[in-house]
Amino acid sequence: MQAATSCDLKFRSTNPTARNKCFSHAIPKRVAVTCGYRSESFSFPNGVSVSRSDWQSSCAILSSKVASVENPGGLADKIAAVNGHTNGSVNLGIVAVESTNGKLAPVQPLTITDLSPAPLHGSSLRVAYQGVPGAYSEAAAGKAYPNCDAIPCDQFDVAFQAVELWIADRAVLPVENSLGGSIHRNYDLLLRHRLHIVGEVQIPVHHCLLALPGVRTDCVSRVISHPQALAQTEHSLDVLTPHAAREAFHDTAAAAEYIAANDLHDTAAVASARAAELYNLQVLADGIQDDPGNVTRFLMLAREPIIPRTDRPFKTSIVFAAQEHKGTSVLFKVLSAFAFRDISLTKIESRPHHNRPLRVVGDGSFGTSKNFEYMFYVDFEASMAEARAQNALAEVQEYTSFLRVLGSYPMDMTPWSMTSTEDA
């Protein structure tokens, strides 16, 4: 892509009176930024910018109108050695905000091209998370980085890009839930992007049934929430709202926001207690999760890795691909490399190899078979500062065609209680 020599920025404000009727943290102004990708740096004309407090108070969500970049080359072209691959160029296709019939279009999230400088010394960290204010991911960001400036993003990929483009300093994203299992999308994004895991945080999930003030449970004809939240509260909803239809929504807190914004008196949402506070909803029932042991694990991501240490429990995450035609014997050898050194594995996850999804087996005499090729994600309890971890990975590298250390980081050892009503 040929770099341009100028950057046109357009700013537009709108009156948020209509949204103020729904909830108190309505967007005070809207700024539409249209900018093509530039190889050189630029600044806003006349010092015009968006303050970070506006991001937080306005419930603005970073837009995902950014084209996903797929490197046309194969994995071997990207990765010549451990942790080595090339960076692709980014083409930002941002659509300008237009008016319809002389009226401004509905308020849209701030775009990912609304760049801002890194925080000054002493400023709070800007932490990107997926969802809207009141989401469990926001609580995870607050636990990981207290007093941080949380930046909501509408998709996981946008949170990764926000950190890469210096819009945010960190990202906090879920990777697994004790009931729902792994969040495969984020495992794939860990491989696609160049961010490093610098920590983890575990959050107990505490669901509530929310509705507009004055609404009773027997008046609820519909319950909306994220599919996993609906599944995790199925038995409770059978008792509380036996005749209500259940509809999937893309996010728990967004479901609560949708009820408040549209003044829906016949609809309830399964979300957190903090979502009820933010969107002026009442809690019809508290702690409605069917299983009290419902915990979500989040990863803390940064542009630079942290220095591994040995003075506290550390965990290391890696991803690797087996050597061609070695099959499952490679996985056994990899696991043995850790077992012989008394290194405990806490997780192993397989994902299809995107660049080489199938492996043909057979010599042609009796036909051929096609087996799936996989990438393996492994977490183990050891720091990369330890000799046993370094020796284990040196042996693992002999059996793999690709090996990358995603991060070596402190384990989350903080205690928590499942009976807490705190938004988690």
- Catalogue the active-site residues: 296, 298
Q: How far apart are CA 305 and CA 290, in angstroms?
A: 38
Q: Is the dihedral angle over the CA atoms 288, 290, 295, 296 positive or is it negative? A: negative
Q: Can you give the C-alpha Rg of the chain in angstroms?
A: 24
Q: How far apart are CA 23 and CA 56, in angstroms?
A: 14
- Residue pair 151/167 in contact (Cβ under 8 Å)? The answer is yes
What are the angstrom distances between the C-alpha of 308 and each of 34, 161, 198, 245, 385? 41, 25, 10, 50, 5
Q: How far apart are CA 198 and CA 299, in angstroms?
A: 8
- Residue pair 255/249 in contact (Cβ under 8 Å)? The answer is yes
Q: Taking the C-alpha atoms of 203, 208, 213 and 214 in order, what is their torsion angle to the nearest 10 degrees? A: -170
Q: Provide the CA 5 distance to its chain's centre, in angstroms.
A: 34
- Tokens describing residue 178: 């004790």
CB-based burial label for 52 (10 Å; 0-12, 13-18, 19+): middle
CB-based burial label for 362 (10 Å; 0-12, 13-18, 19+): exposed
- Tokens describing residue 77: 């072209």
- The two most distant CA atoms of the chain are separated, in Å, by 75
CB-based burial label for 204 (10 Å; 0-12, 13-18, 19+): buried
Closest CA to 153 of 127, 182, 123, 187: 127
- Residue pair 160/195 in contact (Cβ under 8 Å)? The answer is yes
